[in-house]
Amino acid sequence: MIDRTGLAEFLLRRREALQPEDVGLTRGQRRRTSGLRREEVAVLCHMSTDYYARIERGTGPQPSEQMIASIAQGLHLSVEERDHLFRLAGHHPPARGASSDHISPGLLRILDRLQDTPAEIVTELGETLRQSPLGIALTGDTTHFAGPHRSLGYRWFADPSSRALYAPDEHPFLARLWVSGLREVATRRGPSSRAAQLAEALLEQSAEFRSLWELHEIGVRPRETKHFVHSELGDLELSCQTLIDPAQSHFLLVYTASPGTESYEKLQLLSVIGSQQLR
């Protein structure tokens, strides 16, 4: 059963504890609210202000599991706080660990501060959970995919058009990288895991995947330098730095270019183009 009073009080206290800069928002000069405003939380949670306000007042309908997950992420809750929120709303908490899409508050705080840098948070299966604005400008919004297509490795073989973002001479290596990585994850997570299911699906669909899978290649690792092909700016050579959250098996990928290079200048231009596209 939903605990409306407990849910309302918990949401209120978590909202009051957060400051705009904690979640990547700008603090206005005339701001009087001690914590976040309801409308700000609603934007972070991808829902209407009225819907969120009704939940916080204890007068709204029982929120769905999807809504609770969105609120937990928007409020930057820890896994323990997320589980508590689910129970207050009358739902069983989702699984923790590698199968979870809940991003840790620490990783989110870092991403929130990378507004002028291409960055993204991905799962061990290459599923994009969150992107910085410049990350979207670089690769497009890759958070909207559903089902197996959420995985870039799956799209690489099931949808060849996904390869257009990467330099053609990198394609053979990237194909080996995805197959090797998927085999490692499937072995680690077991035959009933999502990784194993992705492999089974690709074995049926892609002859290229089958040929690489049969090699049993293990240990192929990403190169630090990535070669992107942007639809408007052309080739970009970017360094990729990775921060790992071992508890959730999530990876924060940050892309930078060496100052003084052509790619560095293109990234500066991309920040302008990306802002125009987002508006």
Q: What is the pLDDT of residues 172-199, one digit of tens each?
A: 999 999 999 999 999 999 999 999 999 9
Q: What is the pLDDT of residues 33-81, one digit of tens each?
A: 778 999 999 999 999 999 999 999 999 889 999 999 999 999 999 999 9
Chain mean pLDDT for the chain? 92
Distance, CA of 174 to chain centre: 20
| Residue 55: Cβ-neighbour burial (10 angstroms; 0-12, 13-18, 19+) | buried
Helix (H), strand (E) at residue 269 = helix 262-278
User: DSSP 3-state assignment of 251?
Assistant: strand
Whether the pTM exceeds 0.85: the reply is yes
pLDDT at 276 (0 to 100): 60
Lowest-confidence range among 9-13, 21-25, 125-129, 189-193? 21-25
Angle value at C-alpha 113, between 223 and 149, nearest 5 degrees: 50
How large a percentage of the chain has pLDDT more than 70? 98
d(CA 153, CA 40): 35
